[in-house]
Structure 1
């Protein structure tokens, strides 16, 4: 199901002097292509973008770790043929036209993946932005806030990918990596009804540089949201040294993007490599007016959907299960204390029984810094 959202807020703009002849939306779009955008905006948020395509060995290692096929395959389809012919028939093509042509192809690729959902031109919540630069640290020309992501297409999971209890767990307040309260609902759904996005498409008219820079910020926000929740669910405010947990996190905090400019598309991987919190690498570049390359691109996107549905979603479910065990532990501890120290009649006298939601809130409250506790 695809929904469109055209709302734009002032928070989506980087802090820079605006021209009276430009709209806020056009200023945001053109800023992605500025030569200093990476140095002043992406790198202060620990987002490192590589321009050189990954070599075969590096891509094969990543694909193997994720359980994805390494080599490109081609699957002919009428949608891919029609898409390539439509692109080829146009001398030039705008980002808006490209989006309208691409959507039917994506729908065809995702038709067997019932747990997927996407939205177009939807503005993200800022809660998941990695290491957001506070207002007092913003320096014109040196350090800028990351624009609020608003991808051309955002694809993640639908609510049907989770049971009712898992959906309930994804609400409340947790502590982020700075010890500040964070709305879990806005982390799991950066755009309405799309849970934990893993595939971003940015189609921009400016340049491929602008499209890739836009992808970098959006995908890093998707990865960071999951990392924030993982940190809070495992052991809030403490370093976690379980290597199995860290390995699974590195596989789950992974996303992909497709940057499009004109008739060229660049498929990117976004993950954590070594000491870099958010690294962006080029997997392959495709010509969208070539039928064979479009077929290869569609097949690769299909393999990403399979990975997201069978691998990444499973780890997210495991993480929710761990968080649920914290809730159950809190519930069991309260029950045990009531039996040990109070007669049954006195323990329940004048006390309203706790609901599951209130227990979840009490567990979430433990993740908050002390200054955020209610008086």
Structure 2
């Protein structure tokens, strides 16, 4: 699938060999560029074939496979961090390109690029020769190995807790109702107790307390029950057999509950958002880090180097999170949350969505803290404008944390079972 791309010349100026072109040529190519999207495990092009395009990997993971069995992995991190080397400059293609995850490519007419290189090359430009094998650091090698494990199904992804799976299936079954859903939940006393606690909390409580699981399901409704059960059980996947990694898992869970609480509070202030769906989106926004952390002990250099581990998480958490939620059969709106959670400049034409809400929640979580300088100003992000937060009086200097601290703390307590 192709989409018209909004490309500026500065996005192209570091790409090989486009960096050899003058400004006029870059502007011409920016007008011709378009995005090309491919789903995970699809073939982008095959070895020894030809087509008219020069491509660059924008986001996602791509495997290049040569006919003799050689393999190389590439990872794109967005418009500002595209893979600089081109795909298709040499044709016929010397390798096949396989999408390991959902990928986005930027493409432009190859012949036009070659023509501009003939007539608009910068004077005395020296072409750099890059030896990928020699310049690739150990971190990149580990990134590629992790990706290969994912591609070959060697990196086991966690399963959604059984009670959550069964509840989600029952809610989607038109022949099931509150009694059937309540019966499933009653089989897990811990989940049943936590669901009743949520139903009787200030956010959902009625004039009379819900004194049974069935009453709690009726009060909450089937869809809200589905999201709450998923939310209170998903903590089970934030575990590792390694004490060191388990500490990171605990930190990840605590951070996720804060983002979930903030997203819930924001959703209550905005039209068109379901607080329970926002809660789930906040909890799952960083779910891709879970399988990466869980398997880090298989890579001693990774597990023993906190900085390298953090870079690995940053590189893969979004795509792995999307893969995991797709495996769990979540809707595309929720899958988009981990894929875009760190994309502060995310741009789209539709109304604000859950991914925008979670972006804002993350920036609100660091407002007026020492960490704030590492992030963009909330008011300068597209998500802030799309959600219309200015009209609600929410800004960098007036974070929602200040006015809803107790409400946020209550949501966190419910998620942590306190």
Q: Compare relative contact order (CA 8 Å, sep 6+) and give the higher one, 1 or 2.
A: 1
TM (norm. structure 1) is 0.25
TM (norm. structure 2) is 0.23
Relative to its length, the structure with more helix (as a share) is 2
Over alpha carbons, which structure has the higher Rg?
A: 2
